[in-house]
Amino acid sequence: MKRETLLYAIGGISDQYIAEAAPEAKKKKKPLWIKWGAAAACLSLAVLGATLLFNEPASDFDLTRSTGNVSVQYVTADEIPEGAHTSGILAEIPEDELFTMYEIIAFKGTVQSVDNILIEFESGEALLYYSVANLQVEKVYKGDIEENSTLKVLIPYPFSDGIDISNNDTVKQLEVGMTGIFTPKVSNPTDDFHQWGENKIVFADIAPYRFTDGTRWMFLDTDEGLLFDRHSYNGAANAETLDDIEEYVNTMLSDE
């Protein structure tokens, strides 16, 4: 009976430990040829041939600074396994450092699209599901960026209906057409990368800017009001509109 007691007692451990250990869904690769048809299958075989010939994986991005066996492809939401979205523990950053610790840009913009991507190491030995948002700039607060340009920003999460472990992520509420104020980090090829064994994906090869987590760095104007991490951006805790945020961001940037 004793061992059963222990098994039941383990059942009550902290939610955090249960959530972080949620199993990844099994890799279910769709047989793409079914979707594309026979002709496309021939083409993909040709691509595969070429890939094998040059000993480099096929990729939807130009991975000039990344090294080793790594590829990045666009994927649809239903190709994302459940549990792919698990966020780690968020390190606290003091409020003023949110504007100074990284080289950031700051702008008001609208979400044009969000596309899921799969970063694959060693032909599927390790998988990372991320997404890329296209944000159209409306007003610039900081950075060498232009109004009306569209910026690509890497998000360290995919978007799917699968299980959502981190309830608090601001980024999960991101929708096409939504307006917000964003302060992403400028992707620096020397610091911003993910390494798996000998293989390295340099994030700047995917997008010039990145959100280092899905909670901070964005202030979203949602149907249910203004959404952002009020805990981290404590000075704006009472903000109700994007205009309030604009004032706050400008103040924080001028204090640098």
Q: Which of 62, 96, 103, 125 binds another protein (CB under 8 A)?
A: 125
HSE-up (13 A, CA, CB side) for residue 47: 11
Q: Is 15 in the site for another protein (CB under 8 A)?
A: yes
Q: Is 123 in the site for another protein (CB under 8 A)?
A: no
Nearer to another protein, 20 or 138 (CB): 20
Q: Is 225 in the site for another protein (CB under 8 A)?
A: no
Residues between 157 and 176 with contacts to another protein, criterion CB under 8 A: 161, 163-165, 167, 172
Q: Is 22 in the site for another protein (CB under 8 A)?
A: yes
**Cβ contact 250:141 at 8 Å:** yes
Nearer to another protein, 83 or 208 (CB): 83
Q: What is the CA radius of gyration of the chain?
A: 21
- Token pair 């600074």 in the structure block, residue: 65
Q: Is 177 in the site for another protein (CB under 8 A)?
A: no
Select from 15, 167, 154 the least CA-distant residue to 85. 167
Nearer to another protein, 184 or 214 (CB): 214
Task: Kindly list the distances between the CA atom of residue 216 and the CA atoms of 71, 83, 99, 181, 206, in Å, as whole numbers in the listed order.
Answer: 28, 21, 11, 11, 21
Q: How many residues bind another protein, per CB under 8 A? A: 35
Nearer to another protein, 88 or 225 (CB): 88
Q: Is 21 in the site for another protein (CB under 8 A)?
A: yes
Amino acid at 22: A
Q: Which of 31, 37, 88, 177 binds another protein (CB under 8 A)?
A: 88
Q: Which of 6, 34, 39, 91 binds another protein (CB under 8 A)?
A: 6
The DSSP secondary structure of 63-102, one letter per residue, reads -SS-BSSEEEEEE-GGGSPTT-----PPPP--GGGGTTSS
Select from 206, 171, 159 the least CA-distant residue to 187. 206
Nearer to another protein, 109 or 158 (CB): 158
Q: Is 77 in the site for another protein (CB under 8 A)?
A: no
Using the CB atoms, write b or e for 112-145: b if 16+ within 10 Å: eebbbbbbbbeeeeebbbbbbbbbbbeebbbbeb
Nearer to another protein, 53 or 89 (CB): 89
Nearer to another protein, 44 or 86 (CB): 86
CA distance 30 to 163: 20
Give the residues lining the site for another protein (CB under 8 A).
2-15, 17-25, 82-83, 88-89, 125-126, 161, 163-165, 167, 172
